[in-house]
């Protein structure tokens, strides 16, 4: 399962990036929603894609970090 999160600057907060929308199911929906958000004054938008089906213990060798082991190369 993939999650498409739109981040950017909203009209109420022009100093810090924040998540603007999180319900997109694919890149096409995210692109369309960015157009809507732009009309409402949001700027500097980007899409973060999270693969929720990935095993977090395999990311960045997290199993080693969580178990406090040294990275074996």
Residue 73 has pLDDT above 50, yes or no: no
The predicted pLDDT at position 60 comes to 64
Which is more confident, 23 or 59? 23
In percent, the amount of the chain with pLDDT more than 70 equals 75
- Reported as a single tens digit per residue, the pLDDT across 4-22 is 999 999 999 999 999 999 9
pLDDT for 55 beyond 60 = yes
Q: Which helix (H) or strand (E) holds 24?
A: strand 13-24
State residue 54's pLDDT score: 76
- Range 16-33 burial, b when 16+ CB lie within 10 A, else e: eeeebbeebeeeeebeeb
The domain segmentation of the chain, as residue ranges, is 2-66
């Amino acid at each position: 399962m993939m999650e498409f999160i739109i981040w950017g600057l909203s009209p109420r907060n022009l100093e810090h990036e924040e998540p603007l929308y999180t319900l997109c199911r694919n890149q096409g929906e995210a692109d369309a929603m960015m157009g809507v958000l732009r009309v409402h004054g949001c700027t500097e938008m980007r899409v973060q894609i999270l693969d929720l089906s990935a095993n977090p213990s395999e990311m960045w060798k997290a199993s080693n970090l969580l178990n406090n082991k040294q990275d074996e190369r």
